[in-house]
Amino acid sequence: MPLKLALTILPALFIVACQPEPVPPVATEQSVQVNAKPVVYQVFTRLFGNKETQNIPWGTIEQNGVGKFSDINDAALVGLRELGVTHVWYTGVPHHAVIRDYRDYGISDDDPDVVKGRAGSPYAVKDYYNVNPDLADDPAERLAEFDALIARTHGHGMQVLIDIVPNHVARDYRSLNRPKGVQDFGASDNVAVTYARDNNFYYVTGEAFRVPAPQADYQPLGGQSHPLADSEFTENPAKWTGNGARAAQPSHNDWYETVKVNYGVRPDGSFDFDDLPREYATRDCAAINAFWAERDVPDSWEKFRDITAFWLDRGVDGFRFDMAEMVPVAFWSYLNCGIKARNPDAFLLAEVYNPDLYRDYLQRGKMDYLYDKVGFYDTLRPVMEGRAGTDPLVATHATVADIEAHMLHFLENHDEQRIASSAFAGDADMGKPALVVSALISRAPTMIYFGQEVGEPGDGDAGFGDPTRTTIFDYWGVPHHQAWMNGGKFDGGQLSASQRELRRFYQKVLQISATHPAMLGSYSDLHQHSRSNSDSYTDRQFSFLRHHDETALIVIANFSRDPTEFTLAIPAQDIERLGLADGEYAARDLLNNQVVVIEVKNGLGRAAIALGPLDSTVLQLDQTVVNQP
């Protein structure tokens, strides 16, 4: 539909600078209306509320502190909501293996020889029917304390996501809280065979598990003493390791803290279940549920369906599925359609890194969203670092044009290096143009990792793993995030001026992403046309148009550390799509509160653009003014 242009006539102008835009007010549930697309905020729950700043390598809770569910208070949630956040992904919630004595609460000790770090990996789940006791003020009431956090999050208009890790569980999985009639993983396995369809695990028959061989540069707990740190762990027969390693003694580089779950996939890779026919890619969940209702499925399938039902019934609104491509797509159709039967609006996000599998996991597997990691993120990263130009972004985005609304964009998460780290861009401002492009180029959700919006560099040697990624294995304080946290006030009281400005920038961009109607519409590439028709426009810039009904945005980003002036060229088909006759049109920049003139002559558009270092402009055309020839 053509844009309806205002009738006010202005004299010709190019760029009119206005007074700096005031800092937006703190948003409340009432003042933020989400009508475009989701913004997911990943809270690493153990670290988010931690106020301790000692940061001793391999430090205990008493030394380095730990964040609690209760630390994520109303002020914190208001702070997330003002970023346009719609979904909070609380990472590390299901009870995973930790090196702390909780035997007073009936919880068995975990062995440092098969736990990574002192606080443990959130992806080595020990009990799917309860939560990490580290996160509770009273471990005996830990599940109720998480229920309260769910309620607080809902009270601020946001939904709750948690991790489900179907591919593997902790080496010493044992649930204290499983519902009546539910067995632990492996409880009924026939351990005399490598594989049986209804076994939950695979076995190395006739061999006991052996702890990985010692590494010259690694000792559990950094060499600190612990009664169970003796290079021994009893598991007989040995189970296959989480990444599929089949040796009784996995490598130190294997996922040795976990064991692989069996979904009815034989050791040779063939399926021991009825696969979902390809034609079901175009059918809805009602048809898929009917298909599986008539079939017997492997035991592990049922166990995970019970687990997701448990969390949905507690108020969780969706899941982030770890390493989904390591589990058959048929299982995902069974699980996800079961989830949708319980909650049709459940938000289902998955890690799938093989582009050849994207459409199958979306269409037959019924995922809502997948990471656009090996495509868009991996293409954008060298641009941010100054090692590549922007031209490849056009083709990369085009490869998922048919599914772009399902390909979630991010610049950071717990698996990736921090933008501000020395191993990445080394400067959080280098992420500013990338945020504009990543968040606004598609209809897909945008995801932010906690501390990203204040430039957290992820440095410091916490113990297990290397710096540049904020630790997920140890107790730690996160300094830039703690400056925003300000002792639990979550008001940014300790942020520097540059950190405040960065967070303000994130707020502006994410609010556009979450609420602007143009985010629901179509995408048009402006970059290639400008590269061919404007000598001053280079591969350090990137531009595109988003258009929906009677509104449109022109997005232009400068990835250069130098200021730049150039002419943006808009092709005839986009001018026609916008319904612009020859004349001059003024558009307001939503980021910088300036006015830019778009000149249309002979059906082609041009605009003189001036951008500062790493600057961007988002031009809104739905209330333009016209100076007719």
**Residue 606 sits in a domain of what CATH number?**
2.60.40.1180
Phi, psi dihedral angles at 2 (to 5 degrees): -65, 155
pLDDT score recorded for residue 309: 98
Residue 537 has pLDDT above 70, yes or no: yes
pLDDT score recorded for residue 625: 52
Q: What is the mean pLDDT of residues 435-445?
A: 98
Work out the end-to-end distance of the chain between its first and last CA atoms, rounded to an integer number of angstroms. Answer: 23
- Same domain flag for 60 and 175: yes
- Same domain flag for 511 and 560: no
pLDDT tens string 67-84? 999 999 999 999 999 999
7-21, 93-107, 172-186, 614-628: which range is least confident on average? 7-21
pLDDT score recorded for residue 7: 26
Residue 194 has pLDDT above 50, yes or no: yes
pLDDT score recorded for residue 621: 85
pLDDT score recorded for residue 591: 97
Q: What is the mean pLDDT of residues 599-603?
A: 95
Is residue 550 very low, low, confident or very high in pLDDT (cuts 50, 70, 90)? confident
pLDDT tens string 370-423? 999 999 999 999 999 999 999 999 999 999 999 999 999 999 999 999 999 999
Q: Which domain holds residue 117?
A: 39-189+268-481+498-515
**Tokens at 236, concatenated:** 């007989």
Amino acid identity, position 473: F
pLDDT score recorded for residue 626: 60
- Same domain flag for 474 and 547: no
Q: Please tell me which residue, 550 or 430, carries the higher pLDDT value.
A: 430
Rounded Cα distance between 512 and 576, Å, is 25
pLDDT score recorded for residue 236: 98
Q: What's the whole-model pTM score?
A: 0.94
**Tokens at 591, concatenated:** 């980021």
Amino acid identity, position 263: Y
- Same domain flag for 177 and 45: yes
Q: Across 175-179, 214-218, 363-367, 514-518, which has the greatest mean pLDDT?
A: 363-367
Q: What percent of the chain has pLDDT over 70?
A: 93
pLDDT tens string 230-253? 999 999 999 999 999 999 999 999
Residue 24 has pLDDT above 60, yes or no: no
- Same domain flag for 586 and 608: yes
For residue 573, count CB atoms less than 10 angstroms from its CB and return exposed for 0-12, middle for 13-18, buried for 19 or more: exposed
Is residue 19 very low, low, confident or very high in pLDDT (cuts 50, 70, 90)? very low
pLDDT tens string 91-120? 999 999 999 999 999 999 999 999 999 999
Across the chain, what does the average pLDDT equal?
93
Per the domain annotation, does 250 fall within a domain? no
Cα 233–chain centre separation? 34
Residue 21 has pLDDT above 80, yes or no: no
pLDDT score recorded for residue 35: 53
Q: How many Cβ atoms sit within 10 Å of the Cβ of residue 109?
A: 16
pLDDT score recorded for residue 466: 82
Total count of domains within the chain? 2
- Same domain flag for 535 and 473: no
Residues 455, 447 contacting (CB under 8 angstroms) = no
Rounded Cα distance between 94 and 554, Å, is 43
Start-end of H helices in 450-496? 479-485
- Give the three-class secondary structure for 12: coil
104-108 own/partner pairs: CB under 8 Å, 24+ apart: 105/133, 105/139, 105/140, 106/176, 107/133, 107/139, 107/176, 108/172, 108/174
Rounded Cα distance between 406 and 125, Å, is 27
Nearest to 118 by CA among 480, 471, 467, 478: 471
The DSSP result for 234-274, as a single string, is: --SSEEPBTT---SSS--TTS-TTEEEBPSSB-TTS-BSSP
pLDDT tens string 42-64? 999 999 999 999 999 999 999 99
Is residue 23 very low, low, confident or very high in pLDDT (cuts 50, 70, 90)? very low
- Same domain flag for 502 and 552: no
- Same domain flag for 399 and 462: yes
Per the domain annotation, does 202 fall within a domain? no
- Same domain flag for 537 and 470: no
Q: What is the mean pLDDT of residues 426-447?
A: 98
CB within 8 A of 260, min separation 6: which ones? 167, 168, 201, 202, 239, 240, 241, 242, 243, 244
pLDDT score recorded for residue 11: 29
Per the domain annotation, does 273 fall within a domain? yes
Is residue 622 very low, low, confident or very high in pLDDT (cuts 50, 70, 90)? low
- Same domain flag for 292 and 380: yes
- What are the residues facing 95 on neighbouring strands? 127
Is residue 624 very low, low, confident or very high in pLDDT (cuts 50, 70, 90)? low
Residue 320 has pLDDT above 90, yes or no: yes
237 upstream amide cis, omega within 30 of 0: yes
Give Dmax over CA atoms of the chain in angstroms.
87
- Same domain flag for 562 and 506: no
Nearest to 159 by CA among 367, 365, 343: 343
Q: What is the CATH number of the domain that holds 506?
A: 3.20.20.80
For residue 123, count CB atoms less than 10 angstroms from its CB and return exposed for 0-12, middle for 13-18, buried for 19 or more: buried
pLDDT score recorded for residue 27: 35
pLDDT score recorded for residue 36: 72
Is residue 2 very low, low, confident or very high in pLDDT (cuts 50, 70, 90)? very low
Residues 112, 223 contacting (CB under 8 angstroms) = no
Rounded Cα distance between 239 and 224, Å, is 28
Question: Where are the strands (E) in 168-315, listed by range?
Answer: 168-170, 203-204, 238-239, 258-260
Rounded Cα distance between 446 and 443, Å, is 9
Per the domain annotation, does 210 fall within a domain? no
Per the domain annotation, does 110 fall within a domain? yes
Residues 390, 369 contacting (CB under 8 angstroms) = no
